[in-house]
Amino acid sequence: MLIIPAIDLKDGQCVRLKQGLMDEATVFSNSPGEQARHWLAQGARRLHVVDLNGAFAGKPKNESAIKEIVKAVGDDIPVQLGGGIRDLDTIERCLDDGVSYVIIGTAAVKNPGFLHDACGAFPGHIIVGLDAKDGKVAVDGWSKLTGHDVIDLAKKYEDYGVEGIIYTDIGRDGMLSGINIEATVKLAQALIIPVIASGGLSNIEDIRKLCAVEFEGITATIAGRAIYDGSLDFATAQAEADRSTQR
């Protein structure tokens, strides 16, 4: 299982939010490229980058910082990017900038035709981010809950040809309250494509719990606040995940 460090960008800085609230941002670094090199040196095999300003604005706002991150890691590891990606031209620009995977969130829910077209135009590069609370999908930077069921939508997106699903329990994200294992497993069992767990990862015990259900189709987890505030050591977490896979 991959442990994927998150780099959340706000106004060109690396930050973490609590439950997606922009005014609850903690700045961890003023240099996105330096932060990316740090995780690469720690053994990261993929980076998860979110343009927070872009997510709220509906179009990318931190392009220079994203380019800095891609340049910092070079061809060593892939970068997956989300936040404000709502049209094919934006996807093409992101991929041209060196991003390996583009994450479509709100636009996938509001405009499924766009997602379908994106999967056709850029096969192998499209991941859907599904943010949910109590099994219902949220959109627009988590500000609106919809009536859509997570599993029903994910199955539809799988048929479109998406590369995987990032599932975030928005009630837990940034709160260090533990991954919602039960809901993540339920989603993974309903799909063939990989599921990446997100939201609430807090300590090494969460890693062990996820590794125990990896066989269900949960291939990775995104680590955010826990690896920044020290409650989870990234290198130790990845080593633990690797050992679990080898058992």
What is the Cα–Cα distance from 111 to 237, expressed in whole angstroms?
A: 37
- What tens digit of pLDDT does each residue of 191-242 get? 999 999 998 888 999 999 999 999 999 999 999 989 998 999 999 999 999 9
Residues with Cβ within 8 Å of 26's Cβ and at least 6 positions away in sequence, in order, are 15, 16, 17, 228
DSSP state of 214: G
Q: What pLDDT is attached to residue 205?
A: 94
Catalytic-role residue among 76, 96, 117, 131 = 131
What is the Cα–Cα distance from 77 to 99, expressed in whole angstroms?
A: 10
Cα dist from 9 to 94, 103, 139, 151, 207, whole Å: 15, 15, 19, 29, 25
Reduce the DSSP state of residue 222 to 3 states and report it.
strand
Q: Between helices 204-212 and 181-190, what is the axis angle to 10°?
A: 30
Q: Read off the pTM.
A: 0.93
Query: 114, exposed or middle or buried, with CB in 10 Å at 0-12, 13-18, 19+?
Result: middle
Catalytic-role residue among 8, 51, 173, 206 = 8
DSSP string, 88-139: HHHHHHHHHTT-SEEEE-HHHHH-HHHHHHHHHHSTT-EEEEEEEETTEEEE
What is the Cα–Cα distance from 42 to 233, expressed in whole angstroms?
A: 10
Collect the ranges in the chain with pLDDT lower than 70: 19-20, 141-143, 172-177, 247
Task: Name beta bridge partners: 18.
Answer: 21
What is the Cα–Cα distance from 44 to 77, expressed in whole angstroms?
A: 8
Active-site residue flag, 8: yes
Q: What pLDDT is attached to residue 197?
A: 96
DSSP state of 61: -
Q: What pLDDT is attached to residue 247?
A: 67
What is the Cα–Cα distance from 6 to 222, expressed in whole angstroms?
A: 6
- What tens digit of pLDDT does each residue of 60-76 get? 999 999 999 999 999 99
Q: What pLDDT is attached to residue 126?
A: 98
Q: What pLDDT is attached to residue 133?
A: 83
Q: What pLDDT is attached to residue 219?
A: 97
